[in-house]
Amino acid sequence: MVGIGPDTEAPVGQMRLADFDLKDRVFIVTGGARGLGLSLAEALVETGGNVYCFDREPQADERWQETARRAAKWGGSLHYRQQDVQDTDGLNRTIAEIADKHHRLDGVVAAAGVQQLCPAAEYSREDVARMMDINYTGVMMTAASAARQMFKYKCHGSMCLIASMSGSVANKGLISPVYNSSKAAVIQLARNLAMEWSPIRPDGTGGIRVNCISPGHILTPMVRKNFEEVPGLQQKWESENMMGRLAETSEFKGAALFLLSNASSFMTGNNLVIDGGHTSW
């Protein structure tokens, strides 16, 4: 069968921006305690989504609490679950509990990731394994666990994997070979999951679109730590893109909403690069 198309019963023309409406849909955002993950969760909540943020921290930060307080006004809801993506058994249980509670799961934003600055010749096997376990295997296991629940409830939805422009180019001034390699793997993973899950099968399962966002340099807590470790790095990065500045996390909300909503119903297996023109010259 073909992949799912636009809903002919949707109130397009009767409601403002109907294609972006996420009312009653259920989503999971990993790495959602702060930074980019939280901003992307906000985009889904603001359009009516019920969003569960996963992170390994015991509690989300103050900004998350403020977002949760505003969620009801927007028509959505925001929830926090302490869940490390390296704990596959726990991940499976938590995702299954959420899907069973709502009898549905409509999508995932896989934003959990870590960085480590280290010359390639000095990496230990353990450090490589840890970074790949979080940045690649954690994304794979999150997507697979969510897909099983989407198959179970025959939900046709969407997944957004957070890669990086670093998966396509080397970052000038930043020695991070394993991080960059892990993000390249995520881009390729999205293509393969899209190929496998986008068609709707005879039993009604499938219809899951999978895409990537590849951000450029963003002012996140992880990046600010890089700036502390490498003097002059912020100024160098600002000079390397066409806009002469770094991104704020809020500048990726529209892209996430586009990919998780009906607005992108014919888009799958793609990598959306948002980098201020960094890779265009």
C-alpha–C-alpha distance, residues 218 and 193, integer Å: 27
Cα(144)–Cα(26) distance, integer angstroms = 16
The whole-angstrom separation of Cα 278 and Cα 270 is: 19
**Active-site residue, selected from the candidate residues 179, 225, 236, 253:** 179
CB atoms within 10 A of CB 127: 13
Give the DSSP H or E segment for 101.
helix 88-102
> What is the token pair recorded at 170?
């080397």
Active-site choice (52, 136, 183, 253): 183
48 in Cβ contact with 22 (< 8 Å) = yes
Q: Is 179 a catalytic residue?
A: yes
H or E element that contains 81:
strand 77-82
φ, ψ of residue 79 in degrees (nearest 5)? -130, 155
Q: Which residues of 184-204 are buried (b: 16+ CB within 10 A; e: fewer)?
A: bbbbebbbebbeebbbbeeee
Beta partners for residue 213, in sequence order? 162, 272
Which residues are part of the catalytic machinery?
179, 183
